[in-house]
Amino acid sequence: MEALRAGSLRIFNEKIRFNENTQDAHVLAPGPRNDSPKKWKLYKGSELLEQTKLQLTAGESVLLFMEIFNTLQLDQGALRPLSSIETTFCRVFDTGVETFYVRVGDDILIWTFDSSSGTTRGLLIPCATGSELGSRVEDNFALLKQPLGLLWQCFVLGIESTKSLNDRCWRVLQTIEEGTGYGKIRRPKHANDPDIFTEWSREVARVAVELAVARRDYEDLCRMYQEIARMDVSGQPLFKDQNALLVARGHLDHENVKAKYLSDRMQNQMSVLFNLIARADTKASIELTKTSKRLTEANLAVARAAKDDSGAMKTISVMTMLFLPATFFAALFSMPTLQWNESQVVGNRFWIYWAFTIPVTLLIFLVWTATNYRDSASYPLAPEHSIGRIYNHEGLGLRQFKEQLESDANVECG
């Protein structure tokens, strides 16, 4: 690390960006001296270490970060907020070096100002691709020579971020109010769609979180304002217009009032959506009850039809038992093989009758048994095979009758 301390760290004089989530350090340093001072060049840690002929392991990259931090002469107390995503602004003065820590959006900025040389030294740690704060600092490079240059840029960017968040929440709430009809527009567009109610509930919950973040950021921006107002800014070129700071505070207060107003509207829409979802559930329960009632009536009709069918079959069975003996004996006695006028009534060919009757009877029972077994195997739960093919007054089968009832219920619910 001695070669690193004595060599490559000397080029980090104003702006350094370090990504500690990768094994290889990434730093953003000024380009070659013949370039414009506004030009930034992105160096990988391996490129810088190649210049000093030094190789670092993954664990030593953390030491590189601390070397950079100490080289910039930053107060190490500013490292504490890095472990908490809740901290968005703080001023550290533990070791006599006034150091600021600011988190704006996905960017973290830690810096200090050297009044003797009129330079700003700091770290810019972007947590996502594309640093809005880094672009803002690059566009206003001259402000780095003023004590409040970076703090003022963070303050203004924080107000703009709050305004953007409020505007986004405003559009979402306006869309929901137009849909529910509980807003400026009274006629609802989706008042009967439970699915859209659920989607709006998720959107309202997201808006609630964003508004809570806006309220938290307002308190941090107020501390930034107090820090700027605490310092004597009358002689700085940045604040030649004495009303600039007051105008910025006015915009900040306006966005805070707007966030409170949006929070009240959000609470109203949450109550409205809860009531609309409850009403839709009640209506669906009523329709389900009606459908169940119609299905119950259909089942009763099927039961009555089955009872009537059973009574008819019983009547047929009784009539068959009544006439079958007489019919059998009438047919038997009328056979020509029986000679009633002769002394031997039974003729020699009477065996032919039994030779055909017995096998055919057995064959009929065998075919009937096989047919019933095949039907029971193909439709084990079909009620029409267990109680017979039952028809209602319109001549529809049981299954078609139930399908028609369910179709009518769906049409009424729609």
Domain extent listing, the chain: 1-131, 286-413
pLDDT score at 153: 84
> What pLDDT is recorded for position 98?
79
CA 74, chain centre distance (Å): 42
Beta-carbon contacts of 108 under 8 Å, excluding residues fewer than 6 positions away, are: 82, 101, 102, 123, 124, 125, 126, 127
- Residue 147: strand, helix, or coil: coil
What's the confidence (pLDDT) of residue 26?
42
What are the structure tokens assigned to 264, written together?
A: 């009240």
> How many angstroms separate the CA atoms of 224 and 216, rounded?
13
Alpha-carbon torsion (113, 117, 118, 123), positive or negative: negative
pLDDT of residue 166: 92
pTM: 0.56
Burial 259-268 (b: 16+ CB within 10 A, else e): beebbebbeb
d(CA 64, CA 66): 5
Please give the angle made by the CA atoms of 363, 364 and 370, to the nearest 5 degrees: 90
Q: What are the distances in angstroms from CA 272 to CA 194, 199, 266? A: 13, 14, 10
Q: How far apart are CA 141 and CA 144, in angstroms?
A: 6
SS (H, E, C) 33-60: CCCCCCCEEEEEHHHHHHHHCCCCCCCH
**Spatial separation of the C-alpha atoms in residues 237 and 235, rounded to whole Å:** 7
CA 245 from centre of chain: 42
Q: What is the pLDDT of residue 45?
A: 44
Q: What is the residue-level pLDDT of the chain in tens, covering all 414 positions?
A: 233 333 334 434 333 443 333 334 444 444 444 444 444 344 444 444 444 334 444 455 566 667 777 777 777 777 777 766 666 788 877 666 678 888 877 778 888 877 776 677 777 777 665 667 777 777 777 777 777 778 888 888 889 989 999 999 999 988 888 888 777 666 656 566 778 888 888 889 899 988 988 888 888 899 888 888 877 555 555 555 567 788 888 999 999 999 999 999 888 888 888 888 888 888 889 999 999 999 999 999 998 888 888 888 888 888 888 887 778 777 877 877 777 777 777 777 778 888 888 888 889 889 988 988 887 777 654 444 444 444 444 444 555 555 665 665 555 445
